[in-house]
Amino acid sequence: MLTFSFLFISSLLLSVNSNPHVQIRQGTLKGSIQETWGGTTFLAFQSIPYAEPPVGNLRFQAPKPGKPWEGVLDATKTHVACPQVAIFAYNITTPESEDCLFLNVYTPNTTDLLPVVAFIPGGGFMCDDASIDLYGPLILLDKNLVLVTINYRLGAFGFLSLEDEVMPGNNGLKDQSLALKWIKDNIRSFGGNPDKVTIFGNSAGGASVYFHILSPHSKGLFHAAISSSGIATSTWTLVKKGEANQQCKELAHALKCPTSSSKEILECLQAVNSSDITKQIYKMIENYYEPRMIFKPVIEPKLLGAFITDHPVDIIKSGAFSQVPYIIGLTTDDGALISAKIYNDYKSVKKFNDDFENVVPPLLSYNTLASRKMISRKIKKFYFQDRPIDNDTKSDLTDMFTDAYFYYPQRATIELHSRYSAQPLYFYIFGYRGSFTYLQDYGDTSYDYGVVHCDDLIYLFSDEDLSDHNSTETDLQMRRVMTTLIDNFANTGNPTPHLNSLITNAWKPVKSDKFNYFSIMGPNEIKTKTTFHEERYNFWKMVPFLPELNSTKDEISQQLFK
């Protein structure tokens, strides 16, 4: 019946004025016919509910599967965004509602079963949206892929936790997992192969992807994975033990809720207006320095339905994770996500210069260490020597954040993961600066920070703010390269299964004894390399700010940081 449904919607394409219909388990959907920037026709089904609205007594609880509907559901319109707090320079303009657990399916006009790419947006677990305006299919659907983009709860709505059985947390990750279950159950109706699903995320979405690899909750729901500029072992992706409980009680107290028991806190917060919760979070983050990601994943108690109950590094070392082909990557200047915002505010720059020893520890999550001030002095000396932090050190501050937030955690995790995984692990560094950049979303636009956070996505997803009309031929060639790599990987688990005039060098996987990575500096500057800013990586190996990843210190480290 499901296969027949897809054959039926394909036949409707013969009539340009018709809307395609598809039958899934919940009911019938009406979609639309659209066209990529390259002129390929595809079908779009937007705002499909994969879960019950997480409102009332479902607020702050694990999601429930979506219920059936009567009649035909209109899937031609963009959905609402989940309630969020704009912690970065950009704002989501999509209307917001708690009833936001939707996904979008974009599929070519074909009767073949195609590989599926399920995309999870980022936003620091605090903001972002899976709408067609931000992560559109107008580039990637030139390939024979089915693209699914997923909305999930953000901020307190998705990650509030008392670290107990009443409010264990991680509901945003559980939303994503339920969406993956929906894909497994329904994607065949859209021409997608449920046995060939690649999960792909950027930033917090990239970290989410790694959480799914590590969690038994999502086992069997995907077959390959891609994390761009985010991984579960970074300093900004996991709250420390007790911190989530404290933040939850702080929020409850500010909203005049009783805090004597978890049950009272939950029942009171479930009754508070959602806009009041969001307003209070804005007030809370004023007391935090950048990047203000105060609600995020947590290690849960060992309870039925828990998403993750052990530290990611311990799970990696146990080998008890989903063994799938995996791509991890970053951009050369990912840290501009933070530095550009700091340089947008003179007071922030001055504070960095005048009080570096106290400002940086909470930013890099080593503020509980007794040696935090000494560590700060070493970091400042390494990146700035004896220079003041001012307008002449923008690239240096960007390097610091790139290394601490992205490069070091990712490379250290790669080296660990590759020792325990039987599947290939690929790493890339993206450094192509084309006609467009996401820099305008991060704050200071007076300076060229390089290839910034999310710039690799420009060549994979259409964004309404980044017009296609001014793309150069080199930009278009870069787009062809990036989409081909993703297409190859989704089909075979290998981004370069064969070489041709477009991609002339093989992307070699990381080995336990060799750091191979794909250097993507332009459409004609792509090859496997083995070294990248080794002095910067080795410095962070000696900094005891990620003890789980770097638990054993060599003699130099002990002397430097004793």
DSSP E strands in 203-306: the ranges are: 224-228
CA–CA separation, 494 and 202 (whole Å): 20
263 and 375 part of one domain = no
Asked whether residue 371 falls in the same domain as residue 259, the answer is no
- Could you tell me which of 249, 258, 259, 254 has the C-alpha nearest to residue 283? 254
Last-in-domain residue among 263, 296, 318 = 318
Residue where a domain terminates, one of 302, 318, 334: 318
C-alpha to C-alpha distances, 68 to 28, 123, 151, nearest whole angstrom: 9, 31, 19
pLDDT, residue 562, reads 46
The DSSP symbol for 353 reads: H
Distance CA 41, CA 138 (A): 10
Q: Which of 286, 318, 350 is the last residue of a domain?
A: 318
Q: In the prediction, which pLDDT does 99 show?
A: 96
Task: Please check whether residues 458 and 544 belong to one and the same domain.
Answer: yes
Task: Report residue 161 as tokens.
Answer: 């936790």
Instruction: Please report the pLDDT score of residue 256 as a whole number.
Output: 97
CB 426 within 8 A of CB 510: yes
Instruction: Choose among 176, 169, 186: nearest CA to 206.
Output: 176
Edge-first strand listing for the sheet containing 21-23: 21-23, 28-30, 72-74
Length of the chain counted residue by residue: 562
**Contact 420/316 with Cβ under 8 angstroms?**
yes
CATH classification at residue 456: 3.40.50.1820
For 270, the domain range is 2-318
Identify whether 453 is a catalytic site residue. yes
* Spatial separation of the C-alpha atoms in residues 160 and 172, rounded to whole Å: 10
Same domain, 422 and 347: yes
> What local confidence, expressed as pLDDT, does residue 44 receive?
97
Same domain, yes or no: 96 and 37: yes
| 272 HSE (CA, 13 A, CB side) | 24
Looking at the fold, whether 27 and 103 belong to one and the same domain comes out as yes
Question: Strands 192-202, 224-228: parallel, antiparallel or unpaired by DSSP?
Answer: parallel
Do both 70 and 91 map to the same domain?
yes
Distance CA 185, CA 199 (A): 16
Question: Out of 47, 131, 189, 203, which one is annotated catalytic?
Answer: 203
Could you tell me which residues are beta bridge partners of residue 330?
429
pLDDT for 10: 41
Contacts of 343 (CB under 8 A, 6+ apart): 349, 391, 394, 397, 443, 444, 447
Q: Are 335 and 264 found together in one domain?
A: no
Give residue for tokens 């980022």: 122
Identify the sign of the CA torsion 177, 182, 188, 190.
Answer: negative
Same domain, 371 and 464: yes
* pTM, 2 dp: 0.94
Distances (CA, A) of 400 to 90, 232, 379, 406: 22, 19, 8, 10
- Identify the DSSP state of 532: S
Whether residue 47 is found in the same domain as residue 149: yes
Domain match, 98 and 216 both: yes
* Euclidean distance between CA atoms 82 and 12, whole angstroms: 33
Q: Which of 79, 212, 217, 453 does the annotation list as catalytic? A: 453
Extract the tokens encoding 200: 């792909």
Judge if 312 and 330 occupy the same domain: no
The total domain count for the chain is 2
Q: What is the mean pLDDT of each run of 10 residues along the chain (562 residues)?
A: 40 53 96 95 97 98 97 92 78 82 93 95 90 88 97 97 98 99 98 98 98 98 98 92 95 96 98 95 77 88 96 96 98 94 90 93 85 93 95 96 96 95 98 90 84 96 76 95 98 97 96 94 97 96 74 41 45
Quick one: pLDDT at residue 66?
97
User: Cα(199)–Cα(207) distance, rounded to whole angstroms?
Assistant: 11
Q: How far apart are CA 162 and CA 397, in angstroms?
A: 35
Q: Is 203 considered catalytic here?
A: yes
User: String of b and e for 311-340 (b: at least 16 CB within 10 Å)?
Assistant: bbbebbeeeebbebbbbbbbbbbbbbbbbb
- Measured between alpha carbons, how far is 509 from 281 in angstroms, rounded to an integer? 42
Say what the alpha-carbon torsion angle 531, 536, 538, 539 is, to the nearest 10 degrees.
180
